[in-house]
Amino acid sequence: MKILTILCCLFSITSHAQTRIAILDFELRDLTLAPRIPAELKRTAAIKPMLEAELKRAGYEIITINSTTQKKANAGVGYLFDHDDVAAKLAKKVGADYVLVGRLHKPSFLFAYLMGHLVRVNDGKLMGNYISETKGGDQKLTLKAVESLTVKIDNDLEHRYSPPKSQSTN
């Protein structure tokens, strides 16, 4: 009887464990004639906290990898984005189940793409390659692209995210 109780408790603990996701700092790949202006750097830096907030709201546990550790693992711009195995090793050190490597790709002043690779940490397998378009640099539009990215990530994981309802202005 005691063994059955212990097994039930262990099953209960593991079945309620949250999925742990590490989100790396997003890189800016700016192909415009005025690359890396302060506004774009600021927008790029804001993507990670927005994405973390949306995934937390969906019940995922966010695991932190500090920027210094990420920079040490990154052999150059785009390296972690292109090397799922290296990103997985980095996230494994902090106990994450998945790592999201992101980029803000800006080919034009009119639009940009939020791009993300979701990598399963235990085997380094690419689970999802996501792209969400955003027009202009407005924070509200960037947030909408982050919400779209969150939907795509969640669709490959646990299907529990619902983006906030749009607030219409009358």
What percentage of the chain carries pLDDT values higher than 70? 88
List the chain domain ranges: 17-155
pLDDT band at residue 17 using 50, 70 and 90 as cut-offs: confident
pLDDT reading at 13 higher than 50:
no
Which of these, 117, 114, 120, 118, lies nearest to 148 by C-alpha position?
114
pLDDT, tens digit (0-9, with 9 covering 90-100), for 107-144: 999 999 999 999 999 999 999 999 999 998 889 999 99
Which of these, 147, 138, 153, 152, lies nearest to 165 by C-alpha position?
147
DSSP letters, the chain, are -HHHHHHHHHHHHHHTPPPEEEEPPPEEEE-SSSTT-HHHHHHHHHHHHHHHHHHHHTTPEEEP--HHHHHHH--STTHHHH-HHHHHHHHHTTT-SEEEEEEEEESSSSEEEEEEEEEETTTTEEEEEEEEEEESS-HHHHHHHHHHHHHHHHHTTTS---PPPP----
**CA separation for the pair 23, 101 (Å, rounded):** 6
Determine contact, residues 23/62, Cβ cutoff 8 Å: yes
pLDDT band at residue 28 using 50, 70 and 90 as cut-offs: very high
pLDDT reading at 69 higher than 60:
yes
Q: What is the pTM of this model?
A: 0.86
Determine contact, residues 67/103, Cβ cutoff 8 Å: no
**CA separation for the pair 101, 77 (Å, rounded):** 12
Yes or no: domain 17-155 corresponds to CATH 3.40.50.10610: yes
pLDDT, tens digit (0-9, with 9 covering 90-100), for 75-114: 888 999 999 999 999 999 999 999 999 999 999 999 999 9
Phi, psi (degrees; rounded to nearest 5) at 112:
-150, 165
pLDDT reading at 7 higher than 70:
no
**CA separation for the pair 151, 137 (Å, rounded):** 21
Q: What is the pLDDT of residue 20?
A: 98
Helix axes 139-155, 38-57, angle to 10 degrees: 40
- Give the mean pLDDT of 47-74: 95
- Give the mean pLDDT of 36-49: 96
